[in-house]
Amino acid sequence: MLWVQGPGDRKDAGTTAIRHERVTHSRGPRRPPDRWLATGQAAREPVRVMIRTAFLWLSALLVLAPRPDEGQWLPQQFLDRDWEELKARGLTLTKDEFWHPERGGVLSAAVQLGGCSASFVSPDGLVATNHHCGFAAIEQNSTPQANRLRDGFVAATREEELRTREVLYVVRRIEDVTAKVVAAREGRSDPYERMLATEATLRALVVEGEKQPDTRCSVATFFEGRQYLLYHRTQIRDVRLVYAPPRAIGEFGGEIDNWEWPRHTGDFTLFRAYVGKDGKPAAYAKDNVPFRPQHYLRVAKDGVKEGDLVMVLGYPGRTERYLSSFAVAERQGVTWPRREELMTRLIARLEESGEGDPALTLRLTTRIKALANVQKAARGQVWGLARNGVVAAKLREEEHFRAWVAADPQRAERYGSVLDEVIALDREAARTQVRDLVLGEMLRGLPFLRAWLDLYDALDKVPEDSAKVPAPLAAPLAAPALAADLQRVEKRLAGVLFEEARRLPGPQSLAAVAALGEGNGDQLAERVYGASKLASSEFRRELLAADKAALLANEDPFLRFARALAAERRAITKEAQTLAGRRLAVGPRWIEAQEAFRGKAFYPDANGTLRVSVATVRGFVPRDGVLYTPRTTVAGLLEKETGQEPFANPPALLAAAKERARSRFADATLGDVPVCFLSDADTTGGNSGSCVINGRGELVGLNFDRVFQNVVGDYGWSGERSRNVVVDVRYLGWVMESVLPAPHVLQEMGL
Ligand code: ASP
């Protein structure tokens, strides 16, 4: 998927994570088999072949049987769903109330915050999301002395709300620009040219769209380049922290419980969106005023129970549901295991870096948490792909597909080679997959190095040697922040990553690292970082004040390395664009064939755009003989209490728990305050913080995770094990009333 200006996935921060499960089976009417058998071509086939193909086709029908809650639907697609069926399940909203392309509706309360999802929950721009989505903002507002991450935070008044670096996007309008993009690349036979033309058109559309006042645009690619949508969004740059529970609540269970059920995590945080006095988006200013959203969610008073209809509205980051068996096998055998190993080493290094330094340890918490999340997810991918036999299932599906194509001359002509073409491209991509993984981690994990690479790229585009470094690029490099942890953190991480690079097989090797000579990763990192003068701000300032020629000639070992890697990255990018250009010639046809093969109700892979998932509150059977019920309570939370992190509840919670049966947030049927619940929604990374609403459009919870059995769900939804984990809004109410009280915020939320 190609995103212009798209934010990454927060919880999977630091990865271009490719996660997933078994083959996708989408629902919808299928072409009846008898019509298919009646085609002239099939009638001429020998009987034996006919019987075999008929058998394959019938079993394909069974495999592809409709699944009620599968799908991450685009807003327009969602409106086209069978509304009567949804009404029968408990939806009372009309289509217009749910989403109107011009007037918004309930769906317009769902916003994007960093790589997460969030939603408006008051007329004064109060925003609810996950604690793990607000984690960085809380950490940045914490010190070892005033540790808001540990103790939680309540702004007693609006003046006390804390400034953050968060940015929030509200979708205002979605425009189909497919025709323009496709026209711009038509007739271009060279794949690189085709990709460049596509990218240039997307950029031009963004520039054009942003001529409207206060608008930020992005174009998203759907269905492998078959459709393009332009999102007109309001960008809110003044986002303040209003409420955070103590970490022991917001992250209860830590990495042990992460991706697991039963769950007892109070994964919520509240922010407020601010705009200028004129109501227009503005940078932070003390006298900015709360944003008034077009729609905000009211909080449900009566909670959920098993079997209820719920809907998840948010911004799922990435799925790969239409992948070939070859590509899935590659993920399972190479990419995911390598990613897990790499995460393990990077985490160990970060932990070492912070040892004996509480301030640095605090600063590294967010990064460690993000890496640990990916580490466990990678483990889940490898486990799930194997356990569910995804590759074998994909192979079977491909066999059905080939039979279906061969059975009709028109299909054979249009799609006869498409699967082989896709696999050929996947094979090529696989050749550099590990190198791309390592390079990707270098760019994410070594921010100082990355900033220099970007600088050299920018200079590469400037013809004159006397050109000065543009101020926006020079400023962060000259400032102390980026270089602050150069020797203590970045050099150590570089040691791990250079070692990984050294281990790359020949054709994948990174020449810039190879050119550093003999030695292990740490020795190479010492040669680049240890021997450099760049830690000195004065040296950097002087350098950045010079011109392009001076920067190209400087022989500081770090700069020499950065120049070599920047040039190599440019060559790699060109290779990737060429491959992407070739995919553009195949992908749309592949998807078209998949749609025809699978049936009408067909949704695109997740790509960080606004989606709706319909679901039922329900438990599941994680393994033979074990049944997970779908709701947890404070009783279960107390059972997990050990007094040790990550299972140590704050004393205020333990005290309040004694009185909880009388709380208005207790559930009558459970006889307790509910904490989390499961549903079978179709979600992925990026859906964290998504509002979960009932059939009346009221907030019942915040999505924050999936179960371990569903980490691999990105390869396909399954009725048996696709379960997402939601924190019940009544737990939020109880914590904010009885544990770390914020009565004024509850009141604002109508509670
Ligand atoms: N925990 C994920 C997130 O942060 C949600 C998921 O992967 O299901 O977006």
pLDDT confidence of residue 650: 98
**In this structure, are 113 and 156 located in the same domain?**
yes
Angle of helix 336-354 versus helix 433-445 axis, rounded to 10:
20
Atom of ligand 1 nearest to the CA of 686: 9
Q: What is the pTM of this model?
A: 0.89
Last residue of a domain, one of 434, 468, 488: 434
pLDDT tens-digit readout, 218-239: 999 999 999 999 999 999 999 9
Average pLDDT value for residue range 239-259: 98
Question: Is residue 385 scored above 90 in pLDDT?
Answer: yes
Question: Which of the four pLDDT bands, split at 50, 70 and 90, describes residue 599?
Answer: confident
**In this structure, are 281 and 355 located in the same domain?**
no
User: Ligand 1 pocket by C-beta < 6 Å: which residues?
Assistant: 10-11, 683-688, 704-706, 724
The answer to whether residues 684 and 293 touch, using CB atoms and an 8 Å cutoff, is no
Higher pLDDT, 727 or 69: 727
The residue to mutate among 706, 710, 714, having the most atoms of ligand 1 within 8 angstroms of its beta carbon, is: 706
Question: Which of the four pLDDT bands, split at 50, 70 and 90, describes residue 19?
Answer: very low
With respect to residue 207, please indicate whether it lies within any of the assigned structural domains.
yes
Show the 3-state SS of 282-306.
CCCCCCCEECCCCCCCCECCCCCCC
Q: In this structure, how many other beta carbons lie within 10 angstroms of the beta carbon of residue 22?
A: 25
pLDDT confidence of residue 669: 94
With respect to residue 40, please indicate whether it lies within any of the assigned structural domains.
yes
pLDDT confidence of residue 472: 87
Burial 400-439 (b: 16+ CB within 10 A, else e): bbbbbbbbbeebeeebeebbebbeebbeebbebbbbbbbb
pLDDT confidence of residue 67: 52
Show the 3-state SS of 91-154.
CCCCHHHHCECCCECHHHHEEEECCEEEEECCCCCEEEECHHHHHHHHHHCCCCCCCHHHHCEE
Name the helix (H) or strand (E) containing 176. strand 168-176
Domain with 369 in it: 20-63+323-434
pLDDT confidence of residue 104: 84
* Closest alpha carbon to 113 in 245, 246, 273: 273
Closest C-alpha to ligand 1, atom 2: 685
With respect to residue 15, please indicate whether it lies within any of the assigned structural domains.
no
Average pLDDT value for residue range 182-193: 96
pLDDT tens-digit readout, 320-374: 999 999 999 999 999 999 999 999 999 999 999 999 999 999 999 999 999 999 9
Specify the CATH number for the domain of residue 675.
2.40.10
Question: Which of the four pLDDT bands, split at 50, 70 and 90, describes residue 52?
Answer: low
With respect to residue 303, please indicate whether it lies within any of the assigned structural domains.
no
Length of the chain, please?
Answer: 751
With respect to residue 694, please indicate whether it lies within any of the assigned structural domains.
yes
Distance, CA of 384 to chain centre:
19
Separation of CA 592 and ligand 1 centre (Å): 29
DSSP lists the bridge partners of residue 709 as none
Closest C-alpha to ligand 1, atom 4: 11
User: Which residues are within 8 A (CB) of 497 and not within 5 positions of it... i.e. 6 or more apart?
Assistant: 346, 438, 441, 442, 445, 446, 521
**In this structure, are 180 and 141 located in the same domain?**
yes
Query: CA angle, corner 260, sides to 259 and 263, nearest 5?
Result: 115
**In this structure, are 455 and 565 located in the same domain?**
yes
Rounded distance between C-alpha atoms, residue 331 and residue 18, angstroms: 8
Closest C-alpha to ligand 1, atom 1: 705
Question: Is residue 184 scored above 70 in pLDDT?
Answer: yes
What letter represents residue 491's amino acid?
Answer: K
pLDDT confidence of residue 54: 52
Beta pairing, strands 168-176 & 227-236: antiparallel
Question: Is residue 47 scored above 70 in pLDDT?
Answer: no
pLDDT tens-digit readout, 498-521: 999 999 988 899 999 999 999 999
**In this structure, are 570 and 631 located in the same domain?**
no
Average pLDDT value for residue range 262-285: 98
Question: Is residue 23 scored above 70 in pLDDT?
Answer: no
**In this structure, are 284 and 332 located in the same domain?**
no
Residue 278's SS3 state is: coil
The answer to whether residues 24 and 717 touch, using CB atoms and an 8 Å cutoff, is yes
Q: For a pLDDT cut of 70, what percent of the chain falls above it? A: 91
Atom of ligand 1 nearest to the CA of 116: 9
The residue to mutate among 10, 12, 714, having the most atoms of ligand 1 within 8 angstroms of its beta carbon, is: 12
pLDDT confidence of residue 34: 26
Average pLDDT value for residue range 657-677: 97
Domain count, the chain: 4
**In this structure, are 363 and 229 located in the same domain?**
no
pLDDT confidence of residue 657: 98
**In this structure, are 247 and 284 located in the same domain?**
yes
Last residue of a domain, one of 553, 574, 595: 574
User: Alpha carbon of 519 to those of 211, 345, 499, 503, 525: distances in Å?
Assistant: 53, 18, 9, 12, 10
With respect to residue 14, please indicate whether it lies within any of the assigned structural domains.
no
With respect to residue 590, please indicate whether it lies within any of the assigned structural domains.
no
Rounded distance between C-alpha atoms, residue 675 and residue 303, angstroms: 11
pLDDT tens-digit readout, 120-172: 999 999 999 999 999 999 999 999 999 999 999 999 999 999 999 999 999 99
Average pLDDT value for residue range 472-494: 92
With respect to residue 702, please indicate whether it lies within any of the assigned structural domains.
yes
* Closest alpha carbon to 273 in 120, 129, 152, 139: 120
Question: Which of the four pLDDT bands, split at 50, 70 and 90, describes residue 470?
Answer: confident
The answer to whether residues 57 and 407 touch, using CB atoms and an 8 Å cutoff, is yes
pLDDT confidence of residue 9: 33
**In this structure, are 147 and 278 located in the same domain?**
yes
pLDDT confidence of residue 213: 92
Question: Is residue 49 scored above 60 in pLDDT?
Answer: no
* Closest alpha carbon to 611 in 218, 297, 172, 316: 316
pLDDT confidence of residue 17: 28
The mean of the pLDDT values for the chain is 91
pLDDT confidence of residue 1: 29
**In this structure, are 32 and 127 located in the same domain?**
no
Rounded distance between C-alpha atoms, residue 644 and residue 182, angstroms: 58
Query: CA angle, corner 251, sides to 248 and 253, nearest 5?
Result: 85
**In this structure, are 166 and 270 located in the same domain?**
yes
Query: CA angle, corner 416, sides to 414 and 418, nearest 5?
Result: 85
Q: For a pLDDT cut of 90, what percent of the chain falls above it? A: 87
Rounded distance between C-alpha atoms, residue 176 and residue 228, angstroms: 6
pLDDT confidence of residue 32: 27
Question: Is residue 581 scored above 60 in pLDDT?
Answer: yes
**In this structure, are 135 and 207 located in the same domain?**
yes
Which of the residue ranges 256-265, 450-459, 597-606 would you say has the lowest mean pLDDT? 597-606
Question: Is residue 33 scored above 50 in pLDDT?
Answer: no
